[in-house]
Amino acid sequence: MTTKSVALLDYGSGNLHSAERALVRAGARVEVTADPQIALAADGLVVPGVGAFAACMAGLREVRGERIIGQRLAGGRPVLGICVGMQILFERGVEFGVETDGCAEWPGVVERLSAPVLPHMGWNTVSAPSDSVLFKGMDAETRFYFVHSYAAQTWDLPPSEHFASPKLTWAEHGVPFLAAVENGALSATQFHPEKSGDAGAHLLRNWIDSL
């Protein structure tokens, strides 16, 4: 069986070393890169992200990462966003009153969670659909590691008779928010699978196996 190749997009924002180790542990051949040709040719592309939405978008645009993501998706080539790498897939983010345009692969806005304690830091369960690919083989009590104060809290993409309905996974911290989305070739998690131990490794293996 051929080892799947995964490009880990290096745009100056992201926990690249731990993400690389986790993907290798999950069975992928990984290259950390900002080279568009390598990123487009790989079986899968992972877009990490930590910190502020605006800073991540600025870094992404410097390496034309939004074009790489768009080109891959136009060809049905898998992309996985992690943490802020999930958030920037939405139309826009609002932090400290500043609105920043995202990649607009999905409609909607990423906003501050309304919760008594922020950031949402630590382990939490999620509510995944029964037909999820990412969460296949995991039970409802499986916990994943989160560290964030912002998230998409609604799903604004209208249903289409031409495309399969996205698989939405929710979690709660003060309010419900999207913990993961599986939408055709584009998947994303708000939590950090690379920091989520065996559960995160299982999820990454599921994604790699689907490539």
Does residue 189 contact residue 178 with C-beta atoms inside 8 Å? no
- Measured distance CA(9)–CA(129) in Å, rounded: 28
Q: Does 103 qualify as catalytic in the annotation?
A: no
- Of these residues, 120, 148, 173, 192, which one is catalytic? 192
State how far the alpha carbon of 131 is from the alpha carbons of 4, 55, 100, 159, 168, in Å: 23, 35, 33, 17, 10
- Of these residues, 66, 105, 182, 194, which one is catalytic? 194
Burial tier of 98 (Cβ tally within 10 Å: 0-12, 13-18, 19+): exposed
Q: Does 162 qualify as catalytic in the annotation?
A: no
Does residue 170 contact residue 132 with C-beta atoms inside 8 Å? no
- Of these residues, 56, 66, 83, 105, which one is catalytic? 83
Does residue 81 contact residue 188 with C-beta atoms inside 8 Å? yes
State how far the alpha carbon of 99 is from the alpha carbons of 49, 94, 102, in Å: 18, 4, 10
Burial tier of 45 (Cβ tally within 10 Å: 0-12, 13-18, 19+): buried
Q: Does 56 qualify as catalytic in the annotation?
A: no
Query: Of all residues in the chain, what percent are helix, strand and coil, respectively (each to 5)?
Result: 25, 35, 40
Q: Which residues are catalytic?
A: 83, 192, 194
